């Protein structure tokens, strides 16, 4: 009986209301309808968030697991990477660092400049 009631409750359409936040910039999207429910300065450029760095680490770990890259690979630091704001380890443009070192910099120091580097 409980399962039947739960199933019926899940079938009742519910209107979703936008959530107010105190964030500088945000976008809330209903992914099933691709409808923007709320937005605030969605195009404002900001230093990357920790979730971006976590996703960068996830992609790196997946490529390490697939043997597409190695911890010994050298990574070239671009002008864009060296000019990142926010938390950083102050990488120098044109320098190359081992991927292993850069992973530690992102994971431990939450370095924005590391998260936008390119494989050499």
pLDDT in tens, the chain (120 residues): 667 766 766 676 666 565 677 778 888 888 889 888 888 888 887 766 777 888 889 999 999 999 999 999 999 988 888 787 777 888 888 999 999 999 988 888 777 767 666 554
Are 59 and 85 in the same domain?
A: yes
pLDDT of residue 48: 65
List the domain range (segments joined by +) for residue 18.
2-40
Are 28 and 65 in the same domain?
A: no
Per DSSP, the residues of 60-118 read: HHHHHHTTSS-TT-EEEPPHHHHT--SS---PPTT-EEEHHHHHHHHHHH--HHHHT-E
pLDDT of residue 84: 77
pTM for the whole thing?
0.57
Distance CA 109, CA 24 (A): 23
Distance CA 85, CA 4 (A): 53
pLDDT of residue 15: 64
Are 36 and 59 in the same domain?
A: no
pLDDT of residue 65: 96
pLDDT of residue 29: 85
For residue 90, being part of any structural domain is answered with yes
Are 71 and 110 in the same domain?
A: yes
Total structural domains within the chain: 2
Are 24 and 71 in the same domain?
A: no
Are 35 and 66 in the same domain?
A: no
User: Hey, which residues are catalytic here?
Assistant: 50, 53, 110
Are 32 and 8 in the same domain?
A: yes
């Amino acid at each position: 009986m409980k399962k039947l009631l739960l199933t019926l409750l899940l079938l009742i359409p519910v209107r979703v209301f936008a959530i107010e936040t105190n964030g500088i910039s945000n976008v809330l999207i209903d992914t099933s309808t691709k409808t923007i429910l709320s937005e605030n300065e969605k195009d404002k450029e900001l230093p990357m968030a920790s979730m971006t760095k976590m996703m960068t680490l996830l992609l790196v770990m997946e490529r390490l697991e697939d043997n597409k890259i190695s911890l010994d690979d050298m990574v070239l630091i671009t002008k864009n990477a060296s000019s990142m704001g926010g938390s950083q380890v102050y990488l120098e443009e044109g320098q190359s660092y081992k991927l292993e070192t850069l992973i530690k910099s992102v994971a431990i120091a939450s370095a924005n400049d590391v998260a936008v580097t390119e494989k050499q």
